[in-house]
Amino acid sequence: MHFSSSPVFFFPVCVKSPPPGRRRHRRAPVGVHRLARRQHPQRRCLRPRRQSRLLLPQARRRSSPNFFSFSSIPIKFILFRVFFFCLRSEFTYNPMLWPRDVLRADFLNLSHHFNAQRSIVRVPDLDPKYKISVLASKQDHCLFDLLYRWQEGRLPVDITCVISNHDRPKDNHVRRFLGRHGIPYHYLPTTPGNKREQEILELVQDTDFVVLARYMQIMSESFLKAYGKDIINIHHGLLPSFKGGNPSRQAFNAGVKLIGATSHFVTPELDAGPIIEQMVERVSHRDTLQSFVVKSENLEKQCLAEAIKSYCELRVVPYELKKTVVF
């Protein structure tokens, strides 16, 4: 049995400047110079104007399986930006030796010790699966692929409902699949003036996150704020190029040699959220627009499933505005 933790730590940094009048003659340690040169390769001789002292933890395991102690190691480095540290850990977990509530309290104390911005601890074999809702439009290749992977137990989620702005007859293969497994299907037709966001919000309010499986509607900023949780989207193009509609046609007209699919978090800006996963495939002058579309659809299914799996395994940590750490 394994458990995963994904804390994000921001360590306090104490900045120490060299004494005035000696900056020209004071040389930094060799490691500092190497780091500085990697940061600024265009400058032949770069001497740091500031030196920083960072206290990093060194874990020492004692006799008790639940006890961790930390000592501090001073390390000098050049401070060019705010230092960001994130960590994901996996352990073999025995609930008889380390009860679940004690486990949660231990890691909560650890996150407080380091002033962590965010800390999550999960035991996949004991904790309930993530609850998700899937939104889709007319094309259902991504939707059906997710349903199939869920049925095979390859996605660690529980699907609470499927919402679509495109009607499907009751004998449709998606509707039949949902009926066999007792998953509700909600048809909410949209218009340019009515996105039915309030009704969607009521249906997804109790979920852990939402998946847009080729849902061809832009979610408004008010909806994103009201929902307040992560939304994962699949874009049938290689972002940040070819945003918006018809990315396969855009790529075909541009004469690219690689096409791809991108899974990312949804933000108010169209197709500009932090990227979780990308997959590519080579194309050539022999390919047609139709072959571009077929190859793109295959990439979309794999890319979206991999992004959901990584997210549920706590491998994805967003930071800054448009960046992620993916373990």
H or E stretch at 109: helix 100-113
Kindly name the residue from 140, 145, 208, 271 that is annotated as catalytic: 271
| CB of 180 closer than 8 Å to CB of 104 | no
Burial of 121-149, coded b for 16+ CB within 10 Å and e otherwise, reads: bbbbeeeeebebbbbbbebbebbbbbbeb
Cβ–Cβ contacts within 10 Å for residue 93, how many? 17
User: What is the C-alpha separation between 88 and 312, in angstroms, rounded?
Assistant: 13
Residue 271 is among the residues annotated as catalytic for this protein: yes
User: What is the C-alpha separation between 146 and 142, in angstroms, rounded?
Assistant: 6
Work out the angle between the directed axes of helices 141-151 and 173-181 (0-180°, nearest 10).
30
Tokens of 199: 């009704």
Q: What is the DSSP string of 127-163?
A: SPPEEEEEEE-S--HHHHHHHHHHHTT-S-EEEEEEE
Where are the strands (E) in 198-319, listed by range?
209-212, 231-235, 258-265, 275-282, 316-319
The position carrying tokens 């409902």 is 161
User: What is the C-alpha separation between 162 and 157, in angstroms, rounded?
Assistant: 14
Q: Quick one: which of 130, 56, 131 has its CA closest to 87?
A: 56
Tokens of 62: 């004692």
Q: Which active-site residues does the annotation give? A: 271
